[in-house]
Structure 1
């Protein structure tokens, strides 16, 4: 297993409503599915890494000059603090790690493509 199934990709697109999970803007150009727990080069045999709880829709790519995916990959400390990056070393279930969604509220993503509001952020914490 190297990547998410078409059904999982569709679930994530639907859950995120065709918007970047980080900035909340509609996806109109380049986009990617970001693995919160990195799967590593060459993929992984761990099926939970391709679960909707571990995947978010981000604008841009890890190599494009603009977009949230590059921002997440470039500032890994902020990505960990906001739930967009979870270390493989700590062996946490991504469904248990809150994510700052659309820069507006903290949510938990479940393995079935759903979200649960976890908490609201402090005022002024918005990535837009």
Structure 2
């Protein structure tokens, strides 16, 4: 016994129309521009700059020292060379999993502090002292914590 008073009508299913390529919203590229990638690769020699979970493996990723946040960042300096480290996959995983240790070594820059990556010293594998990275792909010695004896 059916409670329905009218019979069901069968209609063919229609697929939703795909938007034309001109009307699609283009996703914003939130990564490093090619020119900045080249600066970072030149600085590192395309080898891992952290070497905590490797033995100088080839760098296959560029790690953002100060995270971009969900959806990227509109701040231009987030995608500059001072904010990028050339790393291998195991070291990138290590940096993200040992966040407090990584922040102490400058591999991560806290979003809570108002410092830019070029103001935070970072310990790279090719040096024994923390360095300050610059946006032109170079580095300089950090003067933080260094006392001068100029007599």
Q: 1:110 aligns with which of 134, 140, 143?
A: 134
* Large movers: runs of 4+ above 4 Å: none
The residue that corresponds to 2:14 in the other structure is: none
Name the counterpart of 2:99: 76
Measure how far apart 1:117 and its partner are.
2.9
Higher helix fraction (1 or 2): 1
Coordinate RMSD, CA, aligned: 1.7
User: Normalization by structure 2: what TM-score?
Assistant: 0.68
With a CA cutoff of 8 Å and minimum separation of 6, indicate the structure with the bigger relative contact order: 1
Paired residue for 2:43?
15
State yes or no: 1:25 paired with 2:48: no
| CA positional deviation for 1:96 | 1.2
TM-score when normalising by structure 1 = 0.80
Note the C-alpha offset of 1:104.
Answer: 4.0
Unaligned runs of 5+ in 1: 61-66, 120-128
Structure 2 gaps of 5+ residues are 1-28, 144-151
Report whether the alignment pairs 1:52 with 2:52.
no
Distance 1:75 1:13 in 2: 24
Which residue does 1:126 correspond to in 2? none
Alignment pair present for 1:43 and 2:72: yes
Partner of 2:13: none
- Select the structure that is richer in strand: 1
Partner-residue secondary structure (3-state), 1:21: coil
